[in-house]
Amino acid sequence: MRRNRKARLGDRGFIAATLIPGLAPIFLFFFYPVIYAFYVSFIKYDLTRPERNFVGFQNYYKVITSYYFWNSWRVTAEFAIASFVLVVVFAMLTALTLNQAFKGQKILQVLVLLPWAIPYVVGGSMWKWMFDATYGVLNAVLYGLGLIPSYQPWLVDPTIALILLIVAYVWSEAPLPTLLFLTGLQSVPQELYESGLVDGLNAWQRFRKITLTWLSPIILIVFIWETLLAIRQFDMVWVITAGKPGDATALISFFAWRETFSFLDFGRASALCYIIVAISIVFIYLYFRALKMGSLELKVR
């Protein structure tokens, strides 16, 4: 018995000794910053002031009652909803096109996935150049077609600036949903479409009752993925508009950066980041609930 116990203890010690070198970097570069940021969210950590006092939930209260908090969440919600709708529509149409057999199909598949390989900063710089008021491609095309009397400063108007930011983001994010939808379309049993033809369903009815129903779990995945990406989107906002004009395009993640590097208030920045994390966790929970309900509905059908 004692030998078996010593052997088990020896095995556990050996396993712990082999895991520690691998777990140490994870703790150092992931868990420690997360824990320390949580601690900082409860203290007064302003680089413009020397004191470091424990303030409890005061940082959270200041963030929630700040001038930007609710407006930035409104802008983030508008950005997320519009982006999701456009991404789904564009990705679905593209996937339906790529699902057909035609000459040059493989080349088009590569071109569709190309924006996904371009970093946000590079893609954002390209779109900012296209929207430029002096030499942008958008102005050149519209002016050449006679649709505008002169070159327009598009990014000065709050509504247009947000729309153009959404367009740039959709261009960057659509390839992955397109790939998911294309995979889903190729997995739809052809017997379902044949049954639909026998039942007298037209093309739209077959798409709505068969294709969309089959792809509903993928649409849910795209919804939560795009929502979480929209909440933490910063790169394109910074490169294209920098939150301007005013705060019309300042998403909630942009204010987390501003609290840190403009206001130098690490306490409030950490509190804001944890509020963003908490809301993201709520979305993830709702996603799993919706995905589970969708799976059960598909099994019942």
In this structure, are 14 and 99 located in the same domain? no
Please check whether residue 120 is in contact with residue 239, taking contact to mean a CB–CB distance below 8 angstroms.
yes
In this structure, are 88 and 4 located in the same domain? no
The predicted model scores a pTM of: 0.83
| Residue 175 exposed, middle or buried by CB count within 10 Å (0-12, 13-18, 19+) | buried
69-95 pLDDT, tens digit per residue, is 999 999 999 999 999 999 999 999 999
Per DSSP, what are the bridge partners of residue 54?
43
In a domain, residue 148? The reply is yes
The residue range of the domain holding 25 is 1-40
In this structure, are 157 and 281 located in the same domain? yes
More confident residue, 247 or 299: 247
Place of tokens 């009752």: 209
User: Residue 254: enclosing H or E segment and its boundaries?
Assistant: helix 252-261
Place of tokens 């371009």: 118
Question: Within 10 Å of residue 151's Cβ, how many Cβ atoms?
Answer: 16
In a domain, residue 48? The reply is no
In a domain, residue 52? The reply is no
In this structure, are 26 and 62 located in the same domain? no
In this structure, are 17 and 134 located in the same domain? no
In this structure, are 168 and 220 located in the same domain? yes
Place of tokens 């989107």: 233
257-277 pLDDT, tens digit per residue, is 988 888 888 999 999 999 998
pLDDT mean across residues, the chain? 83
CA torsion through residues 267, 269, 270, 275, sign: positive
In this structure, are 211 and 267 located in the same domain? yes
In a domain, residue 293? The reply is yes
pLDDT of residue 112 exceeding 50: yes
pLDDT at 6: 46
Q: Which residue, 164, 115, 121, is CA-closest to 139?
A: 164
pLDDT at 171: 92
In a domain, residue 36? The reply is yes
User: Mind giving me the DSSP string for 100-143?
Assistant: S--TTHHHHHHHHHGGGGS-HHHHHHHHHHHT-TTT-HHHHHHH
Which amino acid would we find at residue 66?
Answer: S
In this structure, are 124 and 28 located in the same domain? no
pLDDT of residue 1 exceeding 80: no
Q: Which of 8-17, 21-30, 114-123 has the lowest mean pLDDT?
A: 8-17
pLDDT of residue 164 exceeding 70: yes
Question: Number of folded domains in the chain?
Answer: 2
Angle between helices 69-98 and 175-186 (to 10 degrees): 40
pLDDT at 19: 58
